[in-house]
């Protein structure tokens, strides 16, 4: 760094230091509101709020942003897998003193209690992301008063009851995310008024009834997630209006019936399509050949039949066609040639193959491979030798014939299911690090290594012995 830059930097730092107390000392109401919020917190094991001290400038406190001495946003978050970074307690109604607040971001914490009514006292509030907490009870009808909101997310809380129809008044919303709650009832038809939505997520609730046929008004929608509910009926025709922009369409784990509509083949921007675990029947539309940019396709656990279209996709990342009525015979070429694939699930897809003859362009990134319930012969030794991150390999119910002792078990591997094949040799001690193992119904023999697995993982072999099976003679 040259001298000129350095002196400019010093000057800048000095100026900032002199100005800071004047320009951003926080307003007395904001300080009082935040201290009351802090006193509603019953546990802060990682000392997130240690900088929140009375008499110090609240604009310097962790998680606080100010503009012209007023607090404009509160953002606190824990680490998803580390409960010792969570805050516990209730969200204090005194937060409503922060009249200039425009965003509340409280993510991966442990706040409990009912819907935070304080939101109704904050006329400048535009963004609410209270995600992965434990708020409960009903979402009140008066939510329709929060007409200034641009984004509302209560993703993963424990709200119950119906979605109030008054939500249709929140016409400025670009994001509505009520996924991961315990909501019931049907989707209020009035949601069609929320024409600016780019994200609409109701996944993982107990919602039921048909998916409303109201999508023609959603010209901006990019993400539609309704998976893991109890929706029934057909995929509504008006979804075709989303063709230009929709990137994520997730309707899996519902009770949808009828056919996959042809128009889905026109979705130029589609990245992810999940229709798994429904009651869909008929063929996959030939027009799917035009889905050249799809990365994630899950049609598993339906009643779909042949022929499956030859997709022209350049690289698929994850594919699951398992448990339909397909007879693919081979692993499709567009799968074998994908340079970026990491998850391949083709269980019960009528594949007839000698595994050594399958020469995928890329194996390095694989984390899941499931080829169960096919007519696959040969050995997976070469394939598993070429993966470095594999987490799960399932090939139960095939005719694989190889010595289990020669199988490379990579460090990342957690699940191995080779049950009902023709595998021989001994069970190697390397399997003891797995979370799940099933080598039952093969031709294995010899003493078992010490593992935590139940007898059912080893039953039906030629001459395995030792715990959890009978002692060796």
Ligand X SMILES: *[C@@H]1O[C@H](CO)[C@@H](O)[C@H](O)[C@H]1NC(C)=O
Q: 24, 227, 290, 338: which one contacts ligand X (CB under 6 A)?
A: 290
| Token pair listed for 181 | 């709650």
In 3D, which of 222, 119, 226, 218 has the Cα closest to residue 183? 226
Q: Which of 46, 107, 145, 196 binds ligand X (CB under 6 A)?
A: 145
Shortest Cβ 247–ligand X spacing (Å): 18
How far CA 201 is from CA of 48, 151, 236, 252, 259, in Å, comes to 30, 12, 17, 13, 23
- The Cα–Cα gap between 353 and 369 comes to 15
Q: Which is nearer to ligand X, 99 or 287 (CB)?
A: 287
Minimum distance from residue 372 beta carbon to ligand X (Å): 9
Longest CA–CA span in the chain (Å) reads 85
**With binding defined as CB under 6 A, does residue 82 bind ligand X?**
no
Query: Based on CB atoms, which residue is closest to ligand X, 88 or 238?
Result: 88
Say whether residue 148 binds ligand X (CB under 6 A): no
Q: Which is nearer to ligand X, 329 or 415 (CB)?
A: 415
Sole binder of ligand X in the list 15, 219, 385, 412 (CB under 6 A) = 385
Query: Pick from 374, 396, 421, 461: which binds ligand X (CB under 6 A)?
Result: 396
> Could you give the CA distance from residue 194 to residue 184 in angstroms, rounded to a whole number?
20
Which range touches ligand X (CB under 6 A), out of 97-105, 248-256, 378-386, 442-450?
Answer: 378-386
Whole-number Å distance between alpha carbons of 382 and 40: 59
Site string for ligand X, 318-357 (x = CB under 6 A): ----------------------------------------
Give the residue with the Cβ less far from ligand X, 94 or 419. Answer: 419
Residue of 24, 153, 419, 421 interacting with ligand X (CB under 6 A): 419
**Do the bridges between strand 158-161 and strand 255-259 make them parallel or antiparallel, or are there none, so unpaired?**
unpaired
- State whether residue 310 is helix, strand or coil: coil
Map the footprint of ligand X across residues 9-48, applying CB under 6 A.
Answer: 43
Instruction: Report d(CA 295, CA 275) in Å as an integer.
Output: 14
Choose, by CB under 6 A, the member of 286, 292, 412, 429 that binds ligand X: 286
Q: What angle do CA 331, 334, 337 make, to 5 degrees?
A: 95
Our finding on whether 112 is near ligand X (CB under 6 A) is yes
Smallest distance, ligand X to C-beta of residue 83, A:
3
382 binds ligand X (CB under 6 A): yes
Residue-wise burial string across 205-220, b where 16 or more C-beta atoms lie within 10 A, e elsewhere: bebeeebbebbeebee
| Residue 461 near ligand X by CB under 6 A | no
Q: For ligand X, which is the closer residue by CB, 140 or 212?
A: 140
Q: Which stretch binds ligand X (CB under 6 A): 18-26, 83-91, 181-189, 344-352?
A: 83-91
CB atoms closer than 10 angstroms to residue 292:
11
The C-alpha atoms of residue 310 and residue 292 are separated, in whole angstroms, by 11
Cβ-proximal residues to 470 (8 Å cutoff; 6+ apart), any chain = none
Q: How many CA atoms lie within 13 A of 384 on its CB side?
A: 24
Give the shortest CB-254-to-ligand X separation in angstroms: 26
User: Which listed range, 91-99, 249-257, 362-370, 381-389, lies at the site for ligand X (CB under 6 A)?
Assistant: 381-389
Residues in 435-454 that interact with ligand X by CB under 6 A: 438, 440-441, 454
Pick one of 70, 132, 348, 420: the residue that binds ligand X (CB under 6 A): 420
Q: How far apart are the first and last CA of the chain?
A: 77
Exposure string over 66-77, b if 16+ CB within 10 A, otherwise e? beebbbbbbebb
Applying CB under 6 A, does 171 fall inside the site for ligand X? Answer: no
5-13, 148-156, 246-254, 283-291 -> range binding ligand X (CB under 6 A): 283-291
Cα–Cα distances in angstroms (integers) from residue 227 to residues 103, 155, 280, 289, in the given order: 28, 14, 14, 24
The residues that touch ligand X, with contacts defined as CB under 6 A, are 43, 83, 86, 88, 110, 112, 120, 142, 145, 265, 286-287, 289-290, 381-382, 385, 396, 419-420, 438, 440-441, 454, 456-457
């Amino acid at each position: 760094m040259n001298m000129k830059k350095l002196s400019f930097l010093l000057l800048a730092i000095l100026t900032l230091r002199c100005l800071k107390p004047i320009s951003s000392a926080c307003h007395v109401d904001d300080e009082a509101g935040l201290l009351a919020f802090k006193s509603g917190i019953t546990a802060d094991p990682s000392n997130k709020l240690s900088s929140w001290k009375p008499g110090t400038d609240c604009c310097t406190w962790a998680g606080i942003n100010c503009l012209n001495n007023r607090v404009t946003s509160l953002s606190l978050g824990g680490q998803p897998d580390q409960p010792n970074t969570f805050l516990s307690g209730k969200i204090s109604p005194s937060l409503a003193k922060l009249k200039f607040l425009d965003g509340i971001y409280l993510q991966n914490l442990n706040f409990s209690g009912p819907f935070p009514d304080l939101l109704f006292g904050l006329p400048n509030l535009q963004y609410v992301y209270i995600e992965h907490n434990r708020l409960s009870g009903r979402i009140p009808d008066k939510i329709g008063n929060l007409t200034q909101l641009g984004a509302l997310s209560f993703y993963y809380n424990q709200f119950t009851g119906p979605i109030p129809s008054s939500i249709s008044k929140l016409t400025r919303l670009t994001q509505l995310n009520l996924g991961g709650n315990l909501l019931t009832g049907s989707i209020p038809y009035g949601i069609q008024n929320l024409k600016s939505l780019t994200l609409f997520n109701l996944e993982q609730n107990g919602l039921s009834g048909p998916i409303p046929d109201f999508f023609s008004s959603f010209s901006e929608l990019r993400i539609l997630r309704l998976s893991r509910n109890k929706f029934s009926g057909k995929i509504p025709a008006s979804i075709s209006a989303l063709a230009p922009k929709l990137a994520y369409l997730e309707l899996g784990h519902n009770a949808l019936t009828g056919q996959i509509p042809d128009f889905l083949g026109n979705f130029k921007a589609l990245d992810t399509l999940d229709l798994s675990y429904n009651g869909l029947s008929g063929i996959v539309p030939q027009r799917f050949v035009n889905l050249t940019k799809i990365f994630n396709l899950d049609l598993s656990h339906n009643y779909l039949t042949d022929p499956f279209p030859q997709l022209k996709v350049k690289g698929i990342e994850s594919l699951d066609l398992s448990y339909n009525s397909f007879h693919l015979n081979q692993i499709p070429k567009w799968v074998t040639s994908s340079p970026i694939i990491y998850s391949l699930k083709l269980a019960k897809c009528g594949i007839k193959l000698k595994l050594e003859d399958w020469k995928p362009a890329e194996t390095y990134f694989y984390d899941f491979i499931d080829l169960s319930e096919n007519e696959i012969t040969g050995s997976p030794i070469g394939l598993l030798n070429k993966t470095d991150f594999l987490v799960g390999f399932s090939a139960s119910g095939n005719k694989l014939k190889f010595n289990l002792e020669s199988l490379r078990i990579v460090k990342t591997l957690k699940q191995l299911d080779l049950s009902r094949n023709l595998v021989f040799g001994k069970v190697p001690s390397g399997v003891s690090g797995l979370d799940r193992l099933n080598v039952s119904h093969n031709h294995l023999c010899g003493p078992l290594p010490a593992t935590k697995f139940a007898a059912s993982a080893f039953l039906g072999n030629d001459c395995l012995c030792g715990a959890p099976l009978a002692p060796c003679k």
